[in-house]
Chains A and B, each alone.
Chain A
């Protein structure tokens, strides 16, 4: 009974937070119909601030590398402007934020002019934008969490003594053994020892990122649902795989065994493409899984606003709860899959010839 009470309480909390937002929106945009798609996409995107409520958000530092050198200021300088109305002047350059991206306004322009497709004509996007955005902040948070948790767990072993786990190590050790087993299963012989630290870091980085994205009220950072992050992780995996590849791996690709020579013309390009498709698939699998989860949650909540009735919360909140629990499974599963496939790819490239 206590369990159910807790679930109902969480549901109520979700509903009230959503309803307060609904009333706020209703005043602001009386005429416009609620645009669930852009809301969901916007939620899944990176941002220059951590949006907690409509009235309160944490500003984050903006760091830009421009033609005139490094420019830094806090994102609060934009005052929540996302349409390019407000220009921020730094180092003699004007910057504006349009649809979640920072633009450098061309010299001499006072206002930003837009073309028919709503793209600015006299400003260009800042490419070398090293701002500590929501996702970057989350990455730092994950890194700090990992360092604190795992260094504290490591201390429980008194510098590598074979003692039984105590305290926090009781929670972390099964995870470590789990990842080590993934490495052992996929990388032959004793070579797995070399790659276990990488796989451990990969697994826990993804897992913590996934789980942080599921915690409500902290702006649901979509770190592992950012294609930049997943791409980076896949590329690092790819580099490690290539740097450790053995002759057997390449001979397998360039001379597939048990295949007539005539088929080489078709098979070899496919195999070579496969080398690059694998990290691409890794990138997209994690990105799409996590982003899809976030979009589904926002879409389900949006049911209430699309229909403009709080009564729809009766449908929307239980479904959101269900999807959130499912996402908890996905958070774990995707971390596992990414790590396992990384181990599999590394394992295939370090394999010695034994045919």
Chain B
């Protein structure tokens, strides 16, 4: 029975001690500790957030770098391709030009040759004509040395004419 009977004195002391303890601890212990703990929690949270953000930024930067690298690679490839194309074109152009030049030279040469040939032929012709004339003169001079032969020729010519 004694165990379950509340005692006035103990209630008084328990209440007094507890309330004083509550105020003292609240002022000198709980407040600074809770502030510190919660502030630290906040700062840790903020730090983690910052780290997350930085990580994301790094990730973005890395991706950007990758993009840049890729672009550069593409650019380089393009440049190489263009250069090779240009060189090919240049070679091609040089080739065609050379050919054209060559053709022109050949044509010129042919033309010169032809004209030389024609001139030679013409000269040869005159030569031949004069030569044959000389021969003919010499032949005719021998043929017409007697009057009989002149008469026979005249007759023959006259015959030919009458026939016409």
Contact = CB atoms under 8 A, between A and B. Distances in A.
Tell me if chains A and B make direct contact, with any CB pair below 8 A: yes
Contacts of A130: 8-9, 12-13
Interface string B3-26: 111111111111101111110111
B126 to A, nearest CB: 125
Which of A135, A173, A229 is most buried by chain B, counting CB atoms within 10 A of its CB? Answer: A229
A324 interface: no
Nearest to B33: A154
Given A41-B3, A129-B7, A151-B28, A162 B21 contact: no
When A and B form their complex, which 4 residue pairs have the shortest distance between CB atoms, in order from nearest?
A: A228-B10, A150-B29, A162-B40, A160-B35
A172 B18 CA distance: 20
A100 B36 CA distance: 47
A201 B21 contact: yes
Interface of B: 2-15, 17-22, 24-26, 28-37, 39-40, 42-43
Contact of B32 (A131, A143, A154, A205): A154
Contacts of B24: 147
A232 B34 contact: no
A118 to B, nearest CB: 13
A132 B25 CA distance: 22
B4 A227 contact: yes
A226 interface: yes
Interface of A: 41, 44-46, 63, 99-101, 127-133, 135-136, 139-140, 143, 146-147, 150-151, 153-154, 157, 159-164, 169, 172-173, 176-177, 180, 196-198, 200-201, 205, 226-229, 231-233, 235-236, 287, 291
A287 B14 CA distance: 14
A198 B22 contact: yes
Nearest to A199: B30
Which of B11, B19, B31, B33 is most buried by chain A, counting CB atoms within 10 A of its CB? Answer: B33
Contacts of B35: 157, 160
Which of A45, A46, A99, A157 is most buried by chain B, counting CB atoms within 10 A of its CB? Answer: A157
A201 B36 contact: no
B9 A133 contact: yes
Contact of B8 (A127, A176, A205, A235): A127
B19 to A, nearest CB: 7
Q: Is the interface of B mostly helix, strand, loop or mixed?
A: helix
A77 B19 CA distance: 32
Contacts of B19: 236
A133 B10 contact: yes
B33 A173 contact: yes
B37 A233 contact: no
A330 to B, nearest CB: 18
A147 B9 contact: no
A226 B6 CA distance: 8
B112 to A, nearest CB: 104
B33 to A, nearest CB: 5
A229 B10 contact: yes
B45 to A, nearest CB: 11
B10 A46 contact: yes
Contact of B21 (A128, A161, A205): A205
B36 A161 contact: yes
